[in-house]
Structure 1
Amino acid sequence: MSIIEKALNKADQQESGSDAAADLSADVQPVAYGNADMPPDKPMSTSNDLGFRKRESFKGTQERVEIDWVRLAEMGFVTPSDVNTKTIEEYRNIKRPLVYNAFGAGSVGIARSNLILVTSSVPGEGKTFTAINLALSIANERDKKVLLIDADVARPSVSKTLGINSPSRLGLIDYLENENIAYSDIELLTNMPGLRIIPAGKLHKYSTELLSSNKMVLFAEELSNRYPDRIVIFDSPPLLAATQGEVLAKLVGQVVLVVEAEKTFQSMVLESVNKLSACDVVLLVFNKTLISLSDGYYYGYGYGQYATNSYTSGPGGSAGPNNSGS
């Protein structure tokens, strides 16, 4: 039985009342947020207060950024010019159940099925690499549109990785904090027709509270309902390093949990799965898997050069191989 299957079976047992048996390693320190001097709660906003406007009003008003595809290709990412590479095939397999759950018959019974959170247990497992590649792979399809949101607001890296970072650019946190900032002020057009991006925004000491605010809840609902033809991917903080990931997981219909093979402790996976117990669908992706080939060499095991295996968990908690990877 694999680590993932054990993790999911353990999660099922814990949901039925058994004791938890997950201990974090000593070097993983969850981020604490104090409640002193907390800003007063604001009344719940309505969708009319969220700064959304008709699509027609966006034309000619939004900032456009240019992604350097050559640079991304050198870093091992999926790019529009790639054809049938190993990475492309891996992400075709990974995205298939997610797209099916978002737009196909699999969406029945899944709230906000077109909202997908990509996270990990601890930093360094490849969640941002997975989030960006997943977004690019889906956006590369002719009839699919993707909004990629950098929700790792304490350690944002999507914009930096894509080469579009700007200290003065507004983002998610600015939007949640300031009622005068509209949605069109934070959404970036790109040189890939099916892809748009929302940066993380400025660092904020109350970022957790902003992400758990009523405005964020309504924002997620609005993204899901207003653009039913679009998949929204959130690059989230690691679940065991900060509290924001668990908060965001409650707003989406699907979660991709990235697990670094041969490195992430089983106890960490168990703890992360427990935090995702309320989620409708969880897809677990083994990243940097060490795979033996017939000639005795190994494929992958490094950032940008890897093989993946994925397992899915639906509302019933069952798991099984998704045949992603070798």
Structure 2
Amino acid sequence: MSIIEKAVNKLERAVSKPDANGSVQTPKPPVARTAPVETPTLKQGAVKVQSTSAESAPSAFKNFVEIPVARLSASGMVSPDSPRSTIAEEYRSIKRPLLMNINGQTAANVKHPNLIMVASSLSGEGKTFSAINLAMSIAMEQDKSVLFIDADVSKASAGRMLGIDGHTPGLTDLLLDNSVQVKDVLVQTNISNLRILPAGNVHERATELLASENMKSLMQELAERYSDRVVVFDSPPLLLTTEASVLANLMGQILFVVAAEQTSQEAVLEGISKINSDAVVGMLLNKAKHKSISKYGYGYGYGYGYGSRVESTSPEPAS
């Protein structure tokens, strides 16, 4: 007799055996028990990052902003409403070498190439204008999602241009309070592949926050956790703040904005000297006079590759 047959006979005898009162007792089936599930806790000082990829459900976000696409387009900026405009075509050429570096299509081995900082030596050179245009252009790619971070926390002009209220919590709140998670301050937009991390509330220690270990931890997470995400930073001017150079040293690529006939050569050289030598640096010439050199009425002056010069020939407003 097999082991299974012996077990069945034993069970049948247990079921048919009467108790002292003559009743037949049917044994109750065993109750399955599971071990309690422990919820992991966030270590003090760590920054928890939630997904901002395109597949994220809208319900995961507490905040939403309707980006004024029509207003941006009317002011000469890149928008989904004008995908074939002159400015849109120019930023297609500007973003291409940056995306090539992200996809590993260049000879250089770039660390964290998906972290792109748009910088300038001084204010008023078109840095914020360029950062928003770059983010909008990359968000129009089919296989990329964009997280735009307003890291110019003292001005937060990018947020205002994108329709975000000045009191909206953001980067400074995230770095100050370890209980705040990225999903708590992330802003979903009406552009499916674009999320925004606002500057946050003004704080007297904002400069120290951008140079903190929490900021470094956040950058590490953003760079490595999601392969389809491109993070675009609007940074403070390199020569006016100390935190900008610290932030620059965390980046894989830097788009350095130079205002034509405005930024001095000395300012450019000093600004570049504050950038990590390991980063890929592309130069974008802003506010250049328009030169019609093709039948379409515009031309390009762009460079490609590692450490190349990337220039725009269209007149663009300062920010």
Query: Do both share a fold (TM > 0.5)?
Result: yes
TM-score by length of structure 1 reads 0.75
Q: 1:107 to 1:150 in 2, by over 3 A?
A: farther
Residue identity opposite 1:233 in structure 2: V
Q: Distance in 2 between matches of 1:197 and 1:140?
A: 15
Describe the SS at the equivalent of 1:117: strand
Q: 1:150 to 1:308 in 2, by over 3 A?
A: farther
Task: Write the deviation string for residues 86-121 of structure 1: whole angstroms up to 9, x where unpaired.
Answer: 101110010001111112323862111100000111
Structure 1 counterpart of 2:246: 247
Structure 1 counterpart of 2:210: 211
- TM-superposed CA distance for 1:292, in Å, is 4.0
Kindly indicate whether the alpha-carbon contact (under 8 Å) linking 2:78 and 2:137 is maintained by their aligned counterparts in 1. Answer: yes
Q: 1:47 to 1:81 in 2, by over 3 A?
A: farther
Q: 1:228 to 1:57 in 2, by over 3 A?
A: closer
Q: 1:82 to 1:57 in 2, by over 3 A?
A: closer
- TM-superposed CA distance for 1:166, in Å, is 3.9
Residue identity opposite 1:290 in structure 2: K
**Alignment gaps of 5+ in structure 2:** 1-41, 315-319
Q: 1:80 to 1:102 in 2, by over 3 A?
A: same
- TM-superposed CA distance for 1:159, in Å, is 1.2
Could you list the structure 1 runs, at least 4 aligned residues long, displaced by more than 3 angstroms after superposition.
45-48, 53-59, 291-295, 307-314, 322-326
Structure 1 counterpart of 2:268: 269
Structure 2 counterpart of 1:50: 47
Describe the SS at the equivalent of 1:93: helix
- TM-superposed CA distance for 1:206, in Å, is 1.5
Task: Write the deviation string for residues 272-310 of structure 1: whole angstroms up to 9, x where unpaired.
Answer: 111114242001100011244479xx98xxxxxxx8744
Kindly indicate whether the alpha-carbon contact (under 8 Å) linking 2:119 and 2:254 is maintained by their aligned counterparts in 1. Answer: yes
Structure 1 counterpart of 2:89: 89
- TM-superposed CA distance for 1:61, in Å, is 3.5
Identify which of structures 1 and 2 has the higher relative contact order when contacts are C-alpha pairs closer than 8 Å and 6+ apart. 1
Residue identity opposite 1:106 in structure 2: T
Percent of aligned pairs sharing the same letter = 43
Describe the SS at the equivalent of 1:233: strand
Task: Write the deviation string for residues 9-52 of structure 1: whole angstroms up to 9, x where unpaired.
Answer: xxxxxxxxxxxxxxxxxxxxxxxxxxxxxxxxxxxx96993133
Structure 2 counterpart of 1:150: 150
RMSD across aligned C-alpha pairs, in angstroms?
A: 2.7
- TM-superposed CA distance for 1:141, in Å, is 1.4
Kindly indicate whether the alpha-carbon contact (under 8 Å) linking 2:67 and 2:163 is maintained by their aligned counterparts in 1. Answer: yes
Structure 2 counterpart of 1:195: 194
Q: Distance in 2 between matches of 1:282 and 1:193?
A: 29
Matches within 5 A, 1:87-166: 87-106=87-106, 109-166=109-166
**Larger Cα Rg: Structure 1 or Structure 2?**
2
**Alignment gaps of 5+ in structure 1:** 1-44, 300-306
Structure 1 counterpart of 2:75: 75
Residue identity opposite 1:289 in structure 2: A
Residue identity opposite 1:151 in structure 2: A
Q: 1:148 to 1:324 in 2, by over 3 A?
A: same
Q: 1:107 to 1:86 in 2, by over 3 A?
A: same
Structure 2 counterpart of 1:282: 281
- TM-superposed CA distance for 1:313, in Å, is 7.5
Task: Write the deviation string for residues 172-216 of structure 1: whole angstroms up to 9, x where unpaired.
Answer: 010000011111011111000000000001112211211111111
Describe the SS at the equivalent of 1:203: coil
Aligned residue pair count = 268
Q: Distance in 2 between matches of 1:51 and 1:224?
A: 13
Kindly indicate whether the alpha-carbon contact (under 8 Å) linking 1:100 and 1:106 is maintained by their aligned counterparts in 2. Answer: yes
Residue identity opposite 1:208 in structure 2: T
- TM-superposed CA distance for 1:163, in Å, is 1.6
Kindly indicate whether the alpha-carbon contact (under 8 Å) linking 1:257 and 1:285 is maintained by their aligned counterparts in 2. Answer: yes
TM-score by length of structure 2 reads 0.77
Kindly indicate whether the alpha-carbon contact (under 8 Å) linking 2:49 and 2:218 is maintained by their aligned counterparts in 1. Answer: no
Describe the SS at the equivalent of 1:106: coil
Kindly indicate whether the alpha-carbon contact (under 8 Å) linking 2:286 and 2:312 is maintained by their aligned counterparts in 1. Answer: no
Q: Which moved more, 1:73-82 or 1:103-112?
A: 103-112
Q: Distance in 2 between matches of 1:83 and 1:220?
A: 31
Matches within 5 A, 1:13-24: none
Q: Distance in 2 between matches of 1:54 and 1:141?
A: 18
- TM-superposed CA distance for 1:157, in Å, is 0.9
